Amino acid sequence: MDWVAIRLSLRLAFWTTALLLVIGTPLAYWLAFGRTTLRRLVEALVALPLVLPPTVLGFYILMATGPQSPLGRLYETLTGRRLPFSFQGLLVASIVYSLPFAVQPLVTAFRGVDRRLMEAAWCLGSGRLETFFRVVLPLSWPSVIAASALTFAHTIGEFGVVLMVGGNLPGVTRTVSIAIYDEVQALNYAAAGQTALVLLVFSFVVLTIVYSLRRDVWAVWPMKS
Partner 1 sequence: MADEVLIRIEKRYPTGGGIRGEMTVPLGVPSVTVVFGPSGSGKTTLLRCIAGLERPEWGLIRFGPEVWLDTDAGLWVPPQRRRVGFVFQDDVLFPHRTVRENIAYGLRKLPRPERDRRVTELLKLLDIEALADRYPRTLSGGQRRRVALARALAPGPRLLLLDEPLTGLDASARQEIQRLIRQVLTHAGIPAILVTHDRDEVLAMGDRMAVVLDGVVLQVGTLAEVWERPASPAVAQALGVENVLRGRVVDVNGTLATVAVGDRRLYAVVSEDLRTVRDVWVVLHPRDVLIEKGGSSESEGDFQVSARNRLVGRVTALVPEETVLRVWLDCGFRLAAVITYPAREDLDLRVGDVVTAIVKASAVRLVPHGSLQMEGRGNGVTMGRAR
Residues 6+ apart with CB under 8 A from 195: 1, 2, 5, 6, 176, 179, 180, 183
Give the span between the Cα atoms of 24 and 35, in whole angstroms. 18
Q: Does 221 bind partner 1 (CB under 8 A)?
A: yes
Q: What are phi and psi of 124, to 5 degrees?
A: -90, 10
User: What's the min distance (Å) between Cβ of 110 and partner 1?
Assistant: 15
Residues 117-146 that bind partner 1 (CB under 8 A): 117, 119-127, 130, 134-135, 138-139
User: What's the min distance (Å) between Cβ of 36 and partner 1?
Assistant: 17
User: What's the min distance (Å) between Cβ of 211 and partner 1?
Assistant: 22
Closest CB to partner 1 among 122 and 189? 122
- Taking phi over 0 as left and psi of -120 to 50 as alpha, with beta for the rest, 171 belongs to left
Closest CB to partner 1 among 20 and 135? 135
Report whether 105 contacts 150 (CB < 8 A): yes
Closest CB to partner 1 among 83 and 135? 135
Q: Does 198 bind partner 1 (CB under 8 A)?
A: no
Closest CB to partner 1 among 111 and 116? 116
Closest CB to partner 1 among 130 and 171? 130
User: What's the min distance (Å) between Cβ of 216 and partner 1?
Assistant: 11
Residues 78-117 that bind partner 1 (CB under 8 A): 114, 116-117
Nearest CA to 157 out of 10, 4, 1, 3 is that of: 10
Element (H, E) at 222: none
Nearest CA to 98 out of 141, 143, 150 is that of: 150
In this structure, the chain runs to a length of 225
Cis upstream peptide for 53 (omega within 30°): no
Closest CB to partner 1 among 77 and 115? 115
Residues 6+ apart with CB under 8 A from 184: 192
Residues 201-220 that bind partner 1 (CB under 8 A): 218, 220
Q: Considering CB under 8 A, how many residues would be counted as binding partner 1?
A: 24
> Which residues form the interface with partner 1 (CB under 8 A)?
114, 116-117, 119-127, 130, 134-135, 138-139, 218, 220-225
